[in-house]
A and B are shown apart, each in its own frame.
Chain A
Amino acid sequence: MKLLPAVLTLLAALATTAVAAKNVTLLNASYDPTRELYRDTNAAFAAQWKAQHGDTVTIRMSHGGSGKQARAVADGLPADVVTLALARDIDVLAERGLLPRNWQQRLPDNSAPYTSTIVFLVRKGNPKKILDWSDLVRPGVQVITPNPKTSGGARWNFLAAWGYALRQPGGNEARAKAFVHALYRHVPVLDTGARGATNTFVQRGIGDVLLAWENEAMLARQEMGGSDVEIVVPSMSILAEPSVAVVDRNVDKHGTRAVAEAYLKFLYTPQGQAIAAKHHYRPRSPQVMAKFASRFPKVQLFTLKEVFGDWNQVNARFFADGAIFDQIGPGN
């Protein structure tokens, strides 16, 4: 009991020094595979901010499935910035008035400072000779991809397959639908998230090919199954644009707007772009991309906008209840 006053004094002293040094704390709500990326980014940004302004910035992270994170912020998680897997999840926040609807125009490149794409992870030596999307629907090939209803990454997988089929010679919507339908008949397990699917493929040994974020695939090869898997880059894939935004309502309440905006702009600086590239995200800056070119195989990329329009249209058409995925997904 005698300890209590001492502890209180110590805490009070700590609190006063903290105020004097002007501590700023930001909360970044992000999706699952960005843990390593933001660990480095946060350290670099904090160092830069300290050098320029003398204040200490602490950035706390919250990770989870992209949709789940959006819901948490909508329901009151006081995130100053969101860095999610797809623009759709930030649109939801805009619909609820947490930030303006034109948020995507506030930063360069559709507010997506780094991009990724969808590639294949196959077993060592590629025993089933999977080289392109069309090989996924060959008899005897099992494909692992999570459920697009619960996973942002899985939506990119679905759209990448659809776009590929659409852009083949003689491709049309009906053929694309038939191709994706056939593809999902080769899916034996439908995990709820991208990390779960990676686990099923790498640890449980299920399936011949995993559809994955390029950055996840590279990480999986590096850390999880090192020598057991290899990456196959298809002839064509989708340009996945994970988006970032300042949550206006929260930064105005916390008085952190200036830091939060600087934090997101930092992602576009050469230093921020190099950190993204180091963590297997494709940088937007051509100079940085040129420096890391050997890491990112050449692949023909189409954007969501070119092929499908915006996320509202995509959702209504493919992923809403009773929409195309419900008609042609596994079990149908």
Chain B
Amino acid sequence: MRRRMLPGFNLSLGYSLSYLGLIVLLPLAALTWKASGLGLGGLVELLRVPRTLAALKLSFGGATLAAAINVVAGLLVAWVLVRYRFPGRRLFDAVVDLPFALPTAVAGIALTALYAPNGWIGQWLAAFGVKIAYTPAGVLVAMVFVGFPFVVRTLQPVLETLEHDVEEAAETLGARRWQIFLRVILPMLVPTLLTGFALALARAVGEYGSVIFIAGNIPMKSEIAPLLIVQSLEQFDYAGAAALGVAMLAFSFVLLLLITLLQRWSRRWAENAP
């Protein structure tokens, strides 16, 4: 047997597995067990209700769109914070973490206060007939807000280790700026961007606190899936609530799996790139 670098492999593996089991798998098992009261038929039945479908569509669609927006905006912000030196940079850097630290309900109320038709931003938009608060657009705004730091924070360390010489080499070989970005820098960043995308997506899918205040919560229009879970709980329908939870979990799992596969593929592609 090959000697391992660190001693106590069995102990640490055992510890990791039991910790993972206790913190992650046990609650998920309890959730599935609660949902099992409904049976597979009941679960399928639940997913065929138009209102449930609409809520799932909003939660997953909104989260995907929000994560995509965050990837673009986050890349820009991370780039600026890593590559440029300007006064107040550290302050800006710290501000990025605020959506992490703020209680989500506070964020929701603040965003609603801003975007409501009588709010600072909302009143200007209202003049153009644009409504953000209490519409699906409001849901998107809240989801972008909570997911933003995930993209920036995953990108920063990678951008910092990116070698300037590669870019300089490309430039001496006659590449234009956009070529350098598209063919040299971006391929190296794609796996990290996907990680940031996945984190932002996962966070937004399950987000309740901040979305609920700005959403309007009208069934079929601006109602998110986690709210349906809360509604089932209010009616003491534990099995129904757990079933919806399991459905969301399954969707999220499939999405994250797809992203991981995409990441692998992109890494291989980046390595094999000419």
**A320–B235 contact, CB under 8 A?**
yes
B221 within 8 Å of A by Cβ? yes
Interface centre among A68, A74, A147 (most CB of B within 10 A): A147
Interface size on A, residues (CB 8 A): 28
**A331–B51 contact, CB under 8 A?**
yes
1/0 per residue, CB under 8 A from A, across B234-268: the answer is 11110010000000000000000000000000000
A54 within 8 Å of B by Cβ? no
A68-B234, A320-B235 known; A332+B218 contact, CB < 8 A: no
**A71–B233 contact, CB under 8 A?**
yes
* Chain A residues closer than 8 Å to B40, beta-carbon distance: none
**A205–B219 contact, CB under 8 A?**
no
Complex: chain A residue closest to B131, CB-CB: A188
**B234–A190 contact, CB under 8 A?**
no
A319 within 8 Å of B by Cβ? yes
**A149–B234 contact, CB under 8 A?**
yes
Docked pose: A196 CA to B230 CA in angstroms: 15
A319-B235, A329-B219 known; A192+B134 contact, CB < 8 A: no
Q: Tell which of B112, B231, B236, B240 touches A147, judged by Cβ atoms closer than 8 Å.
A: B231
**A147–B134 contact, CB under 8 A?**
no
* Chain A residues closer than 8 Å to B231, beta-carbon distance: 147, 149-150
Docked pose: A189 CA to B212 CA in angstroms: 11
A-side interface mostly:
loop
Interface stretch, picked from B22-30, B113-121, B156-164, B179-187, is B113-121
**A92–B217 contact, CB under 8 A?**
no
B216, chain A: closest CB distance, angstroms? 5
A203-B113, A204-B116, A321-B240 known; A192+B235 contact, CB < 8 A: no
Q: Tell which of B113, B119, B134, B230 touches A189, judged by Cβ atoms closer than 8 Å.
A: B134
B98 within 8 Å of A by Cβ? no
**B234–A330 contact, CB under 8 A?**
no
| Residues of A217-275 whose CB lies within 8 A of B | none
B-side interface mostly:
loop
A71-B236, A321-B240 known; A330+B112 contact, CB < 8 A: no
A149-B234, A203-B113 known; A192+B219 contact, CB < 8 A: no
| Residues of A187-218 whose CB lies within 8 A of B | 187-192, 196, 203-206
A67 within 8 Å of B by Cβ? yes
B220 within 8 Å of A by Cβ? yes
Docked pose: A118 CA to B99 CA in angstroms: 38
Count A-B contacts at CB 8 Å.
69
* Interface size class of chain B, counting residues whose CB lies under 8 Å from the partner chain: 20 to 34
A40 within 8 Å of B by Cβ? no
**B235–A206 contact, CB under 8 A?**
no
B213 within 8 Å of A by Cβ? yes
B227 within 8 Å of A by Cβ? yes
A156, chain B: closest CB distance, angstroms? 15
**B212–A192 contact, CB under 8 A?**
yes
B133 within 8 Å of A by Cβ? yes
Q: Tell which of A74, A203, A206, A332 touches B134, judged by Cβ atoms closer than 8 Å.
A: A206
A197, chain B: closest CB distance, angstroms? 11
Docked pose: A149 CA to B241 CA in angstroms: 13
* Chain A residues closer than 8 Å to B221, beta-carbon distance: 330-331
**B116–A192 contact, CB under 8 A?**
no
A71-B236, A321-B235 known; A147+B217 contact, CB < 8 A: yes
**A204–B112 contact, CB under 8 A?**
yes
Interface centre among B133, B212, B219, B232 (most CB of A within 10 A): B219
1/0 per residue, CB under 8 A from B, across A313-332: the answer is 00000011100001001111
* Chain B residues closer than 8 Å to A74, beta-carbon distance: 236
A151, chain B: closest CB distance, angstroms? 8
| Residues of A114-141 whose CB lies within 8 A of B | none
Interface centre among A68, A192, A326 (most CB of B within 10 A): A192
* Chain B residues closer than 8 Å to A188, beta-carbon distance: 134, 216, 218
* Chain A residues closer than 8 Å to B218, beta-carbon distance: 187-190, 330-331
Identify 8 new A-B residue pairs, CB closer than 8 A, beyond the known A204-B118, A321-B235, A330-B218.
A149-B235, A188-B216, A190-B216, A190-B217, A196-B213, A204-B112, A319-B235, A321-B237
Q: Which 3 residue pairs of A and B lie closest in terms of their CB atoms, listed nearest first?
A: A331-B220, A331-B219, A205-B118
